[in-house]
Every structure is written in structure tokens, then in C-alpha cells.
Amino acid sequence: ILLISSNVCYNHIYFDIIGQIGYALVPMIARGLMLGPDQPVILHMLDIEPAAEALEAVKMELADSAFSLLKGVLATTDVVEACNGVDIALMVGGFPRKDGMERKDVMKKNVAIYKAQASALEQHAAANCKVVVVANPANTNALILREFAPSIPPKNITCLTRLDHNRALGQISEKLNVPVSSVKNVIVWGNHSSTQYPDANHAIIVDPGSGRERSAREMVADDNWLKTEFQTIVRQRGAAIIKARKLSSALSAASAVCDHMRDWILGTPKGTWVSMGVCSDGSYGIEPGLLYSFPVTCRKGQWSIVQGLNIDEFSRARMDATAKELAEEKLMAYSCLQVEK
């Protein structure tokens, strides 16, 4: 597993404990929360040169934790060494969004980083390496990575919207005062940005005793809340956390990365779908090739977009709006790269 970690800052490079998400993520992986309790892992941690000493400290802490599944740790600032033979790449590093910044502001920095990292993965990762991009703008960074790592199967390059999906589950659970484990099949469509469309129209509440399933929309019985407050809370949650913490979300992001990879590799539970940013095949009228978040089920390491869901007018407009933003981001990313050249 490759973990690319640091946050690269505007005109200088800074580092905070191998990146907040990375620091939260490594013990989760080493405890088997990502690949299950029987799967040994070898961790490659890549960071930037000024972070080398702190990265060594994380390696020491991992040794001190005596994780039985952890069979090896490579801590390096050499991208070639880091990418060599990896089966899974967790792309956490990037220029971080600060309070008051829109995602577009970080685009220019990050697409250049992702183009460079694509070449390293292309040349040195395992042929079937599975990639999840976390750093923002996550969908567009993943799209750039896909374009510049053409030998990695396009289906293997994804971005994280599971964090938004989990946030939506959490809000429904709070609203109905039911355990979050009884809520399933929300959807986050589109971009991991404030234009995303959190959709509870198909969500289900499972009674923990009887197993009986009920429509979340019927149980909430407040379409206005689902169309307004629910939307705002989920879409703006990342910004709210940055404002309160002065740092972007870390433990929830790390946990969502584990959920994303676990479900992709080990499969989604029967009757359950999750949201993943994947390469559009034109499903639901979304431009083919866009890295768009869809409801997916996973089996044997492959995701498939859930088909045949009924899309009402309200949903259609929002799904199209977030697709439009992604198409614009794609153009902007290309123009940034041309400027860089």
C-alpha cells in the first residue's frame, strides 16, 4: 500500500505530522480496518524531503505499536522507491484548502502534483494497482492522474466521495434518531465539492430487530428538509470543519478511505450500495469519461454503477449542475497544465 501524504503549500513546503489524514490512516490500515483482519500489509509512506525526519518518527511509532498485520514499512522521499510494486495507492497528499478558499483555488497547485505522481505510478506500480485520490479537487486530480497514467486500467482510478456519503448517513441518522448502521443507500452524485448532490430519495432505514426496511424519505416526512438543510449541511461539512478546526477533516476522511477501499476490494454488503467517484460510462446521462460520484456496488474487486434508479426533476437538475462543474474543472485543469508546461 502506498500512502502519499504531505501537504504541499503555496510558496513554501510545510508538513504536519506526515499529513493529518495520513497519520490517522496508518493505524487503521495496520489494524486491518481496510483489508480485513487476515490480510498482512506492507506500507510504503512517501513524503517530501523536509518531512523525512518526521516520517521516520511515524515509522518508529508503527514499530512501537506492534501491529501484527504490518509486515513491512518503507518510509521514503523517493517517489520511485515508494511506488515500486504497490497494489493500492492512497493519494492523500496535496495543497490543502484553507478557510475561505474555494476548491478552484487549490486546483492549479494540485493538478501539477498529480500529473507528476501519475508518471511514477504508471512506471512503477503493480499493473493492476487500485488508486483512490483524496486530495482536492479530488475528482479532477483523479482525472488528471488517469490521463497521465494510461497503462493503469481507468476503472482502477477513483476518488473519495465516501466521506460525503458517510456524512449523509450521519445526518439522516440524527434526524430520525436511529443508529447510523440502520441507514443505507443514500447517494452522493457528482463532485466532491459544494455542488455535489446528496440524495436520500432511495435511502432505506433497516429496523435492527425485525430487519424490516422502510423508505428514509417517508420516515423523514419532510421533503423540504431533504431539499434544503440536509443539502447544505452535507455539502458544506468540509468547510464547517475547516472553520472550526482550522484544519480540514482528518479522522473522518481517513475512516472514509478505509471504507472506500474495503468495500471496493472485499465487496459491498448484499442490498447495499455506496458512493464512489468513478469514470462515467454515460450512466444517468453523465458525460462519459468524467470522474463522477455514482452509487456503486462492488464484487470481486470491481465496482458497477447501480442502474435503473428513478430520477426526479429536482435530482436531475442537481446531477447536471455538478456534472457541469466537473466539465469546467476538467477544462481549467488542462489550461493549468498548459500554463505549467
Residues paired with residue 278 on neighbouring β-strands, in sequence order: 292
Active site residue 192: yes
Going by the DSSP 8-state scheme, the letter that residue 91 receives in this structure is E
The answer to whether residue 248 forms part of the interface with ligand LMR (CB under 6 A) is yes
Among 44, 59, 97, 146, binds ligand LMR (CB under 6 A): 97
* Region from 9-17, 68-76, 211-219, 234-242 binding ligand LMR, contact rule CB under 6 A: 234-242
Going by the DSSP 8-state scheme, the letter that residue 49 receives in this structure is G
Q: Contacts with ligand LMR: how many residues (CB under 6 A)?
A: 8
Contact call for residues 159 and 291 (beta carbons, < 8 A): yes
Report the nearest approach of ligand LMR to the CB of residue 239 (Å).
Answer: 6
Report the nearest approach of ligand LMR to the CB of residue 167 (Å).
Answer: 8
Cα 31 to Cα 204: distance, rounded to the nearest angstrom: 30
**Nearer residue to ligand LMR within complex by CB, 136 or 322:** 136
Cα 281 to Cα 259: distance, rounded to the nearest angstrom: 23
Going by the DSSP 8-state scheme, the letter that residue 10 receives in this structure is S
13 — phi, psi (to 5°)?
-115, 130
Of the candidates 317, 296, 297, 278, the one whose C-alpha atom is nearest the C-alpha of residue 197 is: 317
Among 191, 249, 255, 280, binds ligand LMR (CB under 6 A): 249
For 57, the 3-state DSSP assignment is: helix
Q: How many CA atoms lie within 13 A of 234 on its CB side?
A: 34
State the residue number with the nearest CB to ligand LMR.
238
Given the residues 12, 124, 165, 192, the one annotated as active site:
192
Amino acid at 215: S
Residue 198, C-beta contacts closer than 8 angstroms, at least 6 positions apart: 164, 167, 168, 186, 187, 188, 230, 231, 234, 235
* Region from 40-48, 181-189, 236-244, 294-302 binding ligand LMR, contact rule CB under 6 A: 236-244
**Nearer residue to ligand LMR within complex by CB, 248 or 268:** 248
Report the nearest approach of ligand LMR to the CB of residue 59 (Å).
Answer: 26
The answer to whether residue 233 forms part of the interface with ligand LMR (CB under 6 A) is no
Report the nearest approach of ligand LMR to the CB of residue 194 (Å).
Answer: 8
Contacting ligand LMR within 115-174 (CB under 6 A): 136, 163
**Nearer residue to ligand LMR within complex by CB, 137 or 295:** 137
**Host H or E run for residue 257:** helix 251-266
Cα 287 to Cα 109: distance, rounded to the nearest angstrom: 26
Report the nearest approach of ligand LMR to the CB of residue 104 (Å).
Answer: 11
**Nearer residue to ligand LMR within complex by CB, 171 or 249:** 249
Q: Binding residues for ligand LMR, per CB under 6 A?
A: 97, 136, 163, 238-239, 241, 248-249
User: Which residues participate in catalysis according to the annotation?
Assistant: 192
